[in-house]
Amino acid sequence: MAAEIHSRPQTARPVLLNKIEGHSDAVNAAVLIPKEDGVITVSEDRTIRVWLKRDSGQYWPSIFHTVSSPCSCMSYHHDSRRIFIGQDNGAVVVSEFLISEDFNKMNHVKTYPAHQNRVSDMVFSLESEWVVSTGHDKSVSWMCTQSGSMLGRHYFTAWASCLQYDHETQHAFVGDYSGQITLLKLEKQTYSTITTLKGHEGSIGALWWDPVQRLLFSGASDHSVIMWDIGGRKGRTLLLQGHHERVQALRYLQLTRQLVSCSADGGIAVWNMDTQREEAPQWLDSDSCQKCEQPFFWNIKQMWDTKTLGLRQHHCRKCGKAVCGKCSSKRSTFPIMGFEFPVRVCDACFDTIKEEDRTPLATFHEGKHNIAHMDMDPSRGLMVTCGSDRIVKIWDMTQVVGCSLATGFSSR
pLDDT, tens digit only, all 412 positions of the chain = 333 333 434 468 999 999 999 999 999 999 999 999 999 999 999 999 999 999 999 999 999 999 989 999 999 999 999 999 998 876 668 999 999 999 999 999 999 988 989 999 999 999 999 999 999 999 999 999 999 999 999 999 999 999 999 999 999 999 999 999 999 999 988 999 999 999 999 999 999 999 999 999 999 999 999 999 998 766 679 999 999 999 999 999 999 999 999 999 999 999 999 998 999 898 999 999 999 988 898 888 888 888 888 888 999 999 999 999 999 999 999 999 999 999 999 999 999 999 999 999 999 999 999 999 999 999 999 999 999 999 999 999 998 886 434 333 333 3
For residue 173, what are the CA distances in angstroms to 4, 309, 345, 393? 32, 48, 34, 28
What pLDDT, on the 0 to 100 scale, is given for residue 92?
A: 62
With CA atoms as reference, report the closest residue to 235 among 248, 223, 226.
Answer: 226
CATH number belonging to domain 300-358: 3.30.40.10
Residue type, 103: F
Q: Phi, psi (5° rounding) for residue 304?
A: -70, -45
Rounded (10°) CA dihedral 87, 88, 91, 94? 10
**How far apart are alpha carbons 391 and 400 in whole angstroms?**
22
Q: What is the DSSP letter of 7?
A: P
Query: CATH 3.30.40.10: which residues of the chain?
Result: 300-358
What pLDDT, on the 0 to 100 scale, is given for residue 1?
A: 32
What pLDDT, on the 0 to 100 scale, is given for residue 405?
A: 40
Instruction: Name the 3-class secondary structure at 405.
Output: coil
**How far apart are alpha carbons 246 and 371 in whole angstroms?**
10
With CA atoms as reference, report the closest residue to 209 among 156, 256, 266, 169.
Answer: 169
What pLDDT, on the 0 to 100 scale, is given for residue 352?
A: 95
Does the pTM surpass 0.85? The reply is yes
* Contact between residue 346 and residue 321 where contact means Cβ atoms under 8 Å apart: yes
CATH number belonging to domain 15-280+361-401: 2.130.10.10
What pLDDT, on the 0 to 100 scale, is given for residue 24?
A: 97
For residue 142, what are the CA distances in angstroms to 4, 176, 202, 220? 42, 17, 26, 24
Q: In the chain, what are the helix, strand and coil shares in percent, each to the nearest 5?
A: 5, 50, 45
**How far apart are alpha carbons 132 and 117 in whole angstroms?**
15
What pLDDT, on the 0 to 100 scale, is given for residue 226?
A: 97
Helix (H), strand (E) at residue 349: helix 347-352
What pLDDT, on the 0 to 100 scale, is given for residue 101?
A: 94
